[in-house]
A and B are shown apart, each in its own frame.
Chain A
Amino acid sequence: MNPTMNLYAVRAIYLYEMSRTARTLLQSVVSPVISTTLYFIVFGAAIGTRISQIDGVSYGAFIVPGLIMLTLLTQSVMNASFGIYFPRFVGTIYEILSAPVSSFEIVLGYVGAAATKSIVLGLIILATSDLFVPVRIAHPVWMVAFLVLTAVSASLFGFILGLWADSFEKLQVVPLLIITPLTFLGGTFYSTNILEEPWRTITLFDPIVYLISGFRWSFFNIAEVNVGLSLGVTLLFMAICLAIVWWFFKTGYRLKN
């Protein structure tokens, strides 16, 4: 074993988590793809044809980054939270806590797997979207950067949720009552610029506005908020999540008695 880093452990956790996805392929991959297709049918075809272009982009294309972000955020949070909550719930966490693994390596394994899954899903949804509307990507590198940063940040947040939750109810309540509403409010299906005050200002307190705005900019070169600010908020969110995870492992809160 490498004395400074237990890469075998990172790999083992990562592969174990990825195998769970393969085992639950229907709910992990097929279900989000079907949901996205339905969003396109309802918002793109049925309602979208009655909505004029937004900043020169057809409504159907405009919602693509928002839909990818919606899936990316919810799936990252759900995958990462379940990944660490389940061993806590069934008691198999004893093995991870008694292994020669650092907290960083544990996070790398679980968050890496959760982020990988949601990135793959994001790309599948992007490909699915292309079947409905022509999608152009103005800044491909930044698109990938926002995709990865958002997936990792949301997975870190999900990991925190999985460490904090002491029941399945708590595990579900945050994605359902916080993440999903904030994602809808954050401009998944519309531009926050069209909101009246004070709602426009209120949305600026929703961190997801910055994620979606930055991601949408990478597609269409249009943004509700400054791109640098979007990137800064994303990195800040990730840093805060990392600090909280570090604190969980440092204190053993919810992990060690």
Chain B
Amino acid sequence: MHSLTASDAQIRPARASAGMSAISIRNLSKTYASGFQALKDITLEIRHGEIFALLGPNGAGKTTLINIVCGIVTPSAGSVRVGGHDIAAHYRAARAMIGLVPQELTTDAFETPPATMRLSRGLFGKAGNPAYIEKVLRQLSLWDKRNSRIVTLSGGMKRRLLIAKALAHEPQILFLDEPSAGVDVELRKDMWQLVRSLRASGVTIILTTHYIEEAEEMADRVGVINKGELIVVEDKVELMRKLGRKQLTLELREPLAAIPAALSGRGLALAADGRQLIYSYDTRSEGTGITDLLDAIRNAGVKFKDLQTTQSSLEDIFVGLLRQGS
């Protein structure tokens, strides 16, 4: 897959006015006819040009939130503005800005890729532009399949075609609902590259995923949603700094049967049959206490041959937040 570049004038959308949120969601709730409350009083601002990852387990309300913003689901309460346009009162202006890549591989099986892209472009109020359609199809490595019926394409190709359709009208905001679902590792990395390139060209990207690795790799900011409630919205680096924990592991020369009395009360733990001494510390604290600890270990006569530190991943943080919530 060829990457899109910022210098690619044809695919670069006009940046919306600075200072205004790309998407502004206020007190949004959704209760389905069955009585199931999918969203509970969500308030969220998506900034221009950022990659925002919406994380949450299955059924958390991610797709409902996207579908409301895109006009597919009607909200029960609250308001949404896209580029300053209310999605109900000024739906044309709001929707024209958005491209949606749905979670399901929903394509018209008997059409060709250019034909289905022409439909997408027309639906969003743009005149036909065969050169642009060719360009996007080439960039997504689908041009060779331009005469094939969609039904004959592989799953990965169909996923790329859905992206091509979403880009057909040159949107300023792109929703990617579980873009990596059922996608192999290579294609996933290609897709990440594509998303970065789009962001570089000014597109605001909102992606939902339950692959935490994906959010960790790409997102600028992260929102965690669970049971219809937005638990946290934070800059990814900040979130990992605030909620992340680090661990120092010392590989001992001689195994210990127990923690020496001189080291008790320092939050140490033995692992690997006494061959490892583990110290966990909070990255938010002013001092980590590592220098003191190493001095105390030396004074206690404990010798180590190696040491390493590890940091909790976004996944660890995510799981912790969900546990906290429940």
Contacts and interface: CB of A to CB of B under 8 A. Distances in A.
B72 A97 contact: yes
Contacts of B115: 16, 19
B92 A98 contact: no
Given A19-B115, A94-B100, A94-B106, A6 B71 contact: no
A98 B171 CA distance: 13
B217 interface: no
B121 A12 contact: yes
Contacts of A19: 111, 115
A92 interface: yes
Nearest to B100: A98
Give the secondary structure class of A's interface.
helix
B95 interface: yes
Interface in A19-59: 19-20, 23
B96 interface: yes
Contact of A100 (B111, B120, B124): B124
B73 interface: yes
Contacts of A1: 92, 96, 124-126
Interface residues of B, number: 36
B137 interface: no
Given A94-B100, A98-B72, A13 B125 contact: no
**Size class of the A contact interface (CB-based, 8 Å):** 20 to 34
A69 to B, nearest CB: 30
Contacts of B92: 1, 3, 6, 100
A101 interface: yes
A105 to B, nearest CB: 9
A9 interface: yes
A252 B74 CA distance: 8
A6 B96 CA distance: 11
A90 B71 contact: no
A257 interface: yes
B168 to A, nearest CB: 10
Interface in A79-101: 87, 90-92, 94-101
A95 B32 contact: no
Contacts of B100: 94-95, 98
Nearest to A105: B123
Interface string B54-75: 0000000000000100111110
B91 A8 contact: no
Nearest to B110: A23
Contact of B123 (A3, A13, A23, A252): A13
Contacts of B110: 20, 23
Contacts of A11: 122
Given A94-B102, A257-B32, A257-B73, 11 more contacts: A8-B121, A8-B124, A8-B127, A12-B121, A13-B119, A16-B115, A90-B107, A94-B72, A100-B94, A100-B95, A100-B124
